Structure 1
Amino acid sequence: MAAHTTAKGRRITGEARIKMAADLKKKYEKGASIRALAEATDRSYGFVHRILSEFGVVLRGRGGATRTKPKAS
């Protein structure tokens, strides 16, 4: 998954931020995880989560096992 990358830790503003957000949104909505997008763009999980939220993406619920106790029969 080749994604838009920039120097790690470098601030992204203006048109570059809008373009990156659109690219991340498209890939996220096609099923890519936030972690996979973060790795592909050399950004943190928090950055990707924040940029998706800023641009109105409805985030999926957590995957994997839940921590609730099983119901007693």
Structure 2
Amino acid sequence: MSNKTKARRLAPGPDRDKVAQELRKKYDSGTSIRALAQETGRSYGGVHRLLKDAGVAFRSRGGNRRSAD
């Protein structure tokens, strides 16, 4: 059984903007998109779309890399 909830589409307006700004604050403080998706019960794509609409400058992919010492 999947632990995903039923899709929750947010209509444009103040509620969507509020959710997007809350996600932006968490993303800007270092939380990953995947973690935000799991925390809110939304899909990765849904969270990404909300962050994009909020004007987020996305981090590069892949996390920290080790130096080639």
TM tier, shorter chain?
A: 0.7 to 0.9
Q: Secondary structure at the match of 2:14?
A: helix
2:57 alignment counterpart: 58
Give TM-score, length-normalised by structure 1: 0.73
Distance 1:65 1:10 in 2: 32
SS across alignment from 1:49: helix
The normalised TM-score by structure 2 is 0.76
Cα displacement string for residues 7-64 of structure 1 (whole angstroms, at most 9, x for unaligned residues): 7312212111011001000000000000000000000000111111111100000124
Aligned match for 1:10, one of 8, 12, 26: 8
Runs of 4+ more than 4 Å apart? none
Report the RMSD for the aligned CA atoms in angstroms: 1.8
What pairs up with 1:13-24 in 2 under 5 angstroms? 13=11, 14-24=13-23
Where does structure 1 lack aligned partners over 5 or more consecutive residues?
Answer: 1-6, 67-73
Identity of aligned residues (%): 55
Task: Give the structure with higher Rg (CA).
Answer: 1
| Alpha-carbon separation, structure 2, partners of 1:8 and 1:58 | 29
In the aligned structure 2, how far is the partner of 1:19 from the partner of 1:64?
Answer: 28
- Matched residue count: 60
Structure 2 unmatched runs, 5+: none
